[in-house]
Structure 1
Amino acid sequence: MTKTITFNELRRIKDCLPDGSMHRIADELNVTVQTVRNYFGGNNYEYGKNCGLHIEPGPDGGIVVLDNTTIYDMAMSILQEENSMAEEK
């Protein structure tokens, strides 16, 4: 399933993730941490792979088409966990 969002929205999601989230996602998917970083707009392909991220010029940093939403879905689950824990306090 594909998803289309803005680049700035993708970066906001990354910036809201708690410390260790990149490692957690990488470990669960058996990929390198750099591959997860590349998914969120990084560009180090020497140590990481491209995970189906396509950026087109446009407003709000450009339009991003995610061919595979697995990392995005995991990031959103982590953010929901964080929100739930914050509400319980």
Structure 2
Amino acid sequence: MDRKITFNELRHIKDSLPAGSISQIAQEFGIEVETVRNYFGGANYVKGKSVGLHIEPGPDGGVVLLDDTAILERAQQLLASHSN
């Protein structure tokens, strides 16, 4: 399922995650940590892979179209459980 989100919103979610969440997500999905970081706007394609992230210039860092929202949804779950 495609989803649009601003780049700044995406980065805010990543920056708000509890310590170790990026590694936890990577382990749960069976992917490299750098691939998860790339999902949130990183650009390390030596250790990580591309993740279907398309950025269009605009306000708030531009609009990001995510091809797959599974990592975003898991990050939001971790945020919700951390805030309770």
Instruction: Tell me the TM-score normalized by structure 1.
Output: 0.93
Q: Secondary structure at the match of 1:50?
A: coil
Correspondence 1:52 to 2:18: no
Q: Aligned equivalents of 1:20 and 1:42: distance in 2?
A: 17
2:49 corresponds to which letter in structure 1? Answer: K
Q: Counterpart in 2 of 1:40?
A: 40
Unaligned runs of 5+ residues in structure 2 are none
1:57 corresponds to which letter in structure 2? Answer: P
Q: Aligned equivalents of 1:12 and 1:43: distance in 2?
A: 17
Q: Aligned equivalents of 2:15 and 2:44: distance in 1?
A: 18
Deviations 1:25-77 (A, max 9, x none): 00000000000000000001010001111101011100000000010000000
Identity %: 58
Q: Counterpart in 2 of 1:27?
A: 27
Cα shift at 1:83: 1.2
CA RMSD in angstroms, aligned pairs only: 0.5
Unaligned runs of 5+ residues in structure 1 are 85-89
Cα shift at 1:3: 0.7
Instruction: Tell me the TM-score normalized by structure 2.
Output: 0.98
Q: Aligned equivalents of 2:75 and 2:52: distance in 1?
A: 16
Aligned length: 84
